[in-house]
Structure 1
């Protein structure tokens, strides 16, 4: 046991040296965050507690031996934010913004509610309770109905229910926006803003503006600002970024060549079940609006050309079907359009400008009716 404790102490010294060098080289002294996490656990006597950078498995920032269920993690972190606390095999993802944090509870049932002294962590729990009552319950109910209808193969009914589910996204956005507005000076609000942008320049700009200047200047705040700035090239009303993709025969098609038509861009992949389901609705819309000068184009992010071609054969897509040869991970199209998930549908006007993003089902149909009847 003595050997293990000595090794942990050496690691702690090393961590302190690295953090001290970071602080000496840092220009933003306000970002310095000193924290003490005191743990008192039942159901575990010995082991090790680690604090890591969130999302990075090997980035150990602080460590402490556990003796008779107690440990103390003390040190200097780059800034307040989200971190990973690992206690033996137990892992908690925490928002830390207090100087003195207490963790007390049963090891086997340990969760974020056992953490005291971090307002950001408490706000996270408050928000998700709010979300559960005002969004999640209704969403799950609609989701259950949708699954039953899909089994009955009633596409029109399925489109109606899916449209209701999509409208709930706006309700969720309002909840997020109002929560950030109420808590503009907390790191948890930065996290909310970042997760709710969802490829929308307009929403990202609004949410970022609600953050306090001090939150905007944090590393996490600057990441939100960078994401918003990158989305400016695919904002509503601007020309669609350059999109080039290949046909099954390997011919290159430039979307800009379709100017003069309204264009529905359907981004999908063979492995995406909801994408394949979305095509059932697009078939209905294609029959209704192709005669009105609307062009439909599906662009796949499949990494495998073979799997894409196989899916095209299965779907018998009646409109132009293209493939982004860079696949999902390396797609320049996906980055330019701010696509984080699929299906993702974009509508272009006759001049090639973006007039709607992330629009589906009845919402898409209503928009197509609006623009084609003008």
Structure 2
């Protein structure tokens, strides 16, 4: 009897059909767009249309039934935006050009908006402590800021464990960091974990778990400057700095200048450097490699910057420069480390 009552309460909260789905009505007025179509789509690569309505005389009323509350894409003509849907009666407010200003009636959207406001305030306060220009733009300051952001994010999720916004925030904030992701995942309620948005976070964790800190670093299929195929797999015996870069990446080329200085400083102290180009073009890489005159092993990823194959998929590399540090056992000791943060990590490991 108690389970029946709980089910009824959940249906009232979310809106249910006889099939048990999530029903909602969304009303809206879109300044500057008199006619067109409004869609709700899946928030994935398939982008399937789940509901739609006509935009007539700047206004629309969209009624839909989804499998469950979660993260979806709201599309107005050709303008797309991510939204969190978990209320029955929704009112979408737009600025000129179909820019979403607010989505009333969605507790999850309100929760996410609150998170952004609170985080913006915290980041501003933290940035204000680094008053001199040198500190503001240092990677040490950026690293400290990211640590603060993660700490405050965990506090926020812990306060809102049963809101789907917390799972959405965790998905965004974890990037490819398994340790951060699993901590945020464990703060979520069991209900949110069972929803698709919670399952998406779990899948992301499973994807990057193999290269989490403390895990053995995988093999890399690469090509030499002569075009020979190689497999880099023996990472033991030294501390390794593996730099993923590309010829067309300005920040990567700037980071290489710092790595050259660091190489000179740590030469002969048990640290080996490896640069792995993600260039799709062997010629572009060869030209950049000749310009940089690297004094350590320099190779090109066999799959270039293909996100769905090889090391890019294994490490979930979405942006570069991306630097990984391995300990003498060939296990991951740190990822996404740069400049003085990287140097401090290496000096600590060499003690």
C-alpha contact (below 8 Å) 2:33/2:97 kept by paired residues: no
Pair 224,364 (structure 1): closer, same or farther in 2 beyond 3 Å: same
SS at match of 2:215: coil
Q: Distance in 2 between matches of 1:342 and 1:245?
A: 17
TM-score, structure 2 as length reference: 0.85
Q: CA deviation at 1:265?
A: 0.7
> Which structure shows the higher helix fraction?
1
TM-score, structure 1 as length reference: 0.80
1:232-272 CA-to-partner distances (Å, cap 9, x unmatched) read 21122222112232220233444333521111111111222
SS at match of 1:114: strand
Question: Partner of 1:284 in structure 2?
Answer: 261
1:147-173 CA-to-partner distances (Å, cap 9, x unmatched) read xxxxxxxxxx69971221232111221
Question: Partner of 1:35 in structure 2?
Answer: 24
Q: CA deviation at 1:304?
A: 1.0
Question: Partner of 1:86 in structure 2?
Answer: 75
Q: Distance in 2 between matches of 1:310 and 1:320?
A: 16
Question: Partner of 1:223 in structure 2?
Answer: 200
Q: Are residue 348 (structure 1) and residue 326 (structure 2) matched?
A: yes
Pair 348,209 (structure 1): closer, same or farther in 2 beyond 3 Å: same
Q: 2:92 aligns with which of 103, 117, 130?
A: 103
C-alpha contact (below 8 Å) 1:159/1:361 kept by paired residues: no
Q: Distance in 2 between matches of 1:244 and 1:276?
A: 23
Question: Partner of 2:250 in structure 1?
Answer: 273
C-alpha contact (below 8 Å) 1:347/1:355 kept by paired residues: yes
Question: Partner of 2:224 in structure 1?
Answer: 247
Greater mean alpha carbon deviation, residues 46-55 or residues 194-203: 46-55
C-alpha contact (below 8 Å) 2:221/2:310 kept by paired residues: no
Q: CA deviation at 1:95?
A: 1.4
Q: CA deviation at 1:139?
A: 6.0
Question: Partner of 1:72 in structure 2?
Answer: 61
Q: How is 1:249-328 mapped onto 2 (pairs within 5 angstroms)? A: 249-328=226-305
Q: Distance in 1 between matches of 2:136 and 2:323?
A: 15
Q: Are residue 371 (structure 1) and residue 344 (structure 2) matched?
A: no
Q: How is 1:154-193 mapped onto 2 (pairs within 5 angstroms)? A: 161-193=138-170
C-alpha contact (below 8 Å) 2:221/2:302 kept by paired residues: no
Question: Partner of 1:238 in structure 2?
Answer: 215
Pair 311,39 (structure 1): closer, same or farther in 2 beyond 3 Å: same
Q: Distance in 1 between matches of 2:302 and 2:141?
A: 34
Greater mean alpha carbon deviation, residues 205-214 or residues 223-232: 223-232
* Structure 1 unmatched ranges of 5 or more: 1-22, 146-156
C-alpha contact (below 8 Å) 1:298/1:320 kept by paired residues: yes
Q: Are residue 54 (structure 1) and residue 40 (structure 2) matched?
A: no
Pair 171,85 (structure 1): closer, same or farther in 2 beyond 3 Å: same
How many residue pairs get aligned? The number is 334
Q: Distance in 2 between matches of 1:324 and 1:90?
A: 36
Q: CA deviation at 1:202?
A: 1.0
Q: Are residue 332 (structure 1) and residue 318 (structure 2) matched?
A: no
* Structure 2 unmatched ranges of 5 or more: 1-16
Q: Distance in 1 between matches of 2:47 and 2:159?
A: 35
Pair 365,46 (structure 1): closer, same or farther in 2 beyond 3 Å: closer
Q: Distance in 1 between matches of 2:313 and 2:38?
A: 38
Greater mean alpha carbon deviation, residues 273-282 or residues 132-141: 132-141
C-alpha contact (below 8 Å) 1:159/1:362 kept by paired residues: no
Q: Distance in 2 between matches of 1:357 and 1:291?
A: 23
Question: Partner of 2:12 in structure 1?
Answer: none
Pair 325,45 (structure 1): closer, same or farther in 2 beyond 3 Å: closer
Q: CA deviation at 1:300?
A: 1.1
Q: CA deviation at 1:104?
A: 4.6
Q: Distance in 2 between matches of 1:89 and 1:338?
A: 29
